[in-house]
Amino acid sequence: MNPIRRLSAITLLVTATCLALGAGLPPALAGDPIFPPGARVGMTPLVGLGPAKAFPGFETEDQSVKVVVGEFPAEAYSDVANSFKAAPAADGIKPESVETSAGTAYYTIESVKNGANTVRRYSMILPGGTFSGYVAVQVPENASKIYTDDAVRQMFASAVIRKQVPVEEQLDLMPFKITELSAFGNVRTLAPGVAIILADGDEVTGFEAAPFMVIGVIGSGPTQPEDRDRFAQQVATTIPGVRDARITVSEPMRIDGAPGYETRIDATSGKDNTAVTVVQWLRFGNSNSLRIIGSAPRDQWTKAFPRFRAVRDGIQPR
């Protein structure tokens, strides 16, 4: 997909019901920049926008105007910037730019149909160093006289980046408590309230070259014990970045008193084809299951595995 079109498509992440807001003067910015919980992208929201309840960002009280913030890989920004310069009006969408404290940001504006209603969609990408920040805004037509193109541009110009999110802020978003970090120095939210990574490496050096863990929730899984082995092995094959995988262990166990499953894999991972050993623990629940993944280079496995187990045993319900 063309990067300009891809940037525009970001706004499909948000939906809005067109509710009448009435006409008025363009709203002013509401104060100092605000970072949604767990996010590395923040901004000064326009007056009338408060913290969103169901996603990282802001929304009006009636939830008709939405602002979503998030992240893309670092290279996404340069891809979009190069496309903007090479094809300034690709796919009929005129690109715009605005200066922010993080650097030049690029954004698009388009009017599209959302069911029977027309909405104005804005998509912005900005540099974050080790990541690309993005902001998607959706304004229904009957709010466009208040939340104008100029007002949204003013909000985009206020965008800021923070390199790190406080660890406790990230942990507080998860639906479970992580009481033991086992000396992992890098903690980063992958999806707010859904998945988190604990790592010795980082986005610059790469996670695969050192031990790391991914902890999150998935669907509830099979209710019958005899179906759990097949389910655990199938889920293990979906671990991102793992290639040439060979399952070496797959067996039931109890995790914190609940039925669980342990699966171990020998594989290669990362751009350097690092030989790794991976463990996946599933703790089955009624409404969802806890999934814990630990990965380490094979020559570091012996020291890494007790750390993985300590983190697993320190996870508690809220």
- The string of pLDDT tens digits covering residues 168-226 is 999 999 999 999 999 999 999 988 889 999 999 988 778 889 999 999 999 888 888 89
3-161 has which CATH code?
A: 3.40.1000.10
**Cβ neighbours of residue 154 under 8 Å, at least 6 residues apart?**
29, 46
Taking the CA atoms of residue 297, residue 303, residue 304 and residue 307 in that order, the dihedral angle to the nearest 10 degrees is: 180
Longest dimension (CA), the chain: 65
CB atoms near residue 188 (< 10 Å)? 21
Q: Which of 258, 261, 253, 255 is nearest to 230 (CA)?
A: 261
Map out the domains of the chain as residue ranges: 3-161, 167-317
Quote the pLDDT of residue 10: 43
Q: Which fold has domain 167-317?
A: Protein Transport Mog1p; Chain A (3.40.1000)
CA distance 120 to 110: 6
As a whole number, the mean pLDDT across the chain is 88
- For residue range 23-76, what is the model confidence (pLDDT) as tens digits? 334 566 767 899 999 999 999 999 999 999 999 999 999 999 999 999 999 999
Fold match flag (3-161 vs 167-317): yes
State the pTM of this model: 0.80
- Whether the per-residue pLDDT at 87 is higher than 80: the answer is no
Amino acid sitting at position 285: G
Quote the pLDDT of residue 84: 84
